[in-house]
Amino acid sequence: MEATHGQNASGVGEALNGRVIRSSIETFVFGTRVPEQATPACGSLVKVSAVNEKVTLIGVIYDIAVQENALTRMIARASSEDLRGEESALREQAFVEGSVLCLGYLDARGRARYTFPAQPPWLLDKVLNCEDDEIRRFTSNPRFLVPILRSRAIGLSYSRLIVATIERAASLHADRRAFIESCAEELARQLSDRPVELDDLLRELEVLYE
């Protein structure tokens, strides 16, 4: 399941190619060494093929941390030109940690399921960007939004994540407006007890809708 495309719809130049470095049922963190322009983006959907290869876990990147290394501080402090070459090498290949919220999985028959798989991804499992078709399939049902709304890990920033996720997926759907409508409808249902938050969220989506 190597990602071979150079391009995917999430707009990231390179196919993400990371490894799980920490995981639980709800969230996991992957690490990767990428150039700046290929930094993973919040709201992108990523996948992890589980060990048994039966299911493909789907998650959304909700946080990204660029890690320092031994050279970072030195270069930052240095004023001389000596370290120029090092700097570009460092920037070229920074170590990035991405936090992923698990949204569900595609089962052995390729059906989208919006619940946690029985086991978390394992250490060093490969993390790849989802392909367009997988994104379409997974987001064809607005229930993919529910784990974001319910997640304790995300907390109050869920609305930004939702807007980012919908925005990324929308461009892949033939009827973009209908897709946004179905998401809005689901959100309205889920957030009926939080009218102010709902309204804010819908206002953001409106920008995408026009």
Partner 1 sequence: MSEAKPFPEEFFNAKTTASQTETLGVVIGGSLADGVLVRLNRQTVVEGLRVGSYIAAQGQTGRTFFGYISDVELSTFNAALVPPDESTLRRFAYEASALNKVVQVKLELVSENNELRTARSVPAHFAIVRRLTKAEAQRIFSSQESRSHRLGYLLDDKDVEVRLNLQQLTERSTGVFGRSGTGKTFLTLPLLASIIQHQVANVLVFDMHNDYGYNLKGDGNSQRPGLKRLSNIQDRVVVVTLDERSSMRRSSGYEIALKIGLDEIEPEDLETLRDVLGFNEAQISTIHVLPKLFNPERWIYVLAGRGTGEEKQRLAKLFDSGQLVESTFNAIQRKLNRLLNFEFITEKSTGAVDKVINYLSTNRSVVVEFGEFGRCTAAYVLVANLLTRRIHDTYVMLKEEAEAQGSDDSPHLVIVVEEAHRFLDPKVANLTTFGTIAREMRKYNVTLLIVDQRPSQIDREVMSQIGTRITFALSDEQDINAVVTGLRDSQRLRLMLASLDSKQQALVMGHAVKMPVLVRTLDYDQSVWRAYAHSLDRLTPEEQLAKSLQMIRPQVEADLL
Q: Which residues bind partner 1 (CB under 8 A)?
A: 140-142, 175, 177-182, 184-185, 187-189, 192-193, 195-196, 198-199, 202-203, 205-206, 209
Nearer residue to partner 1 within complex by CB, 34 or 148: 148
Report how far residue 134's alpha carbon sits from residue 163's, in angstroms, rounded to the nearest whole number: 19
Among 11, 108, 127, 2, smallest CA distance to 58 is for 127
Q: In angstroms, what is the minimal distance from the CB of 61 to partner 1?
A: 24
Largest CA distance in the chain: 60
Nearer residue to partner 1 within complex by CB, 92 or 206: 206
In the chain, helix, strand, coil percent, each to 5? 40, 25, 35
Q: In angstroms, what is the minimal distance from the CB of 70 to partner 1?
A: 50
Kindly state the DSSP code that residue 62 receives in the 8-state scheme.
E
Nearer residue to partner 1 within complex by CB, 15 or 202: 202
Nearer residue to partner 1 within complex by CB, 103 or 198: 198
Q: In angstroms, what is the minimal distance from the CB of 182 to partner 1?
A: 4
Q: In angstroms, what is the minimal distance from the CB of 98 to partner 1?
A: 28
Report how far residue 24's alpha carbon sits from residue 200's, in angstroms, rounded to the nearest whole number: 31
Report how far residue 139's alpha carbon sits from residue 172's, in angstroms, rounded to the nearest whole number: 10
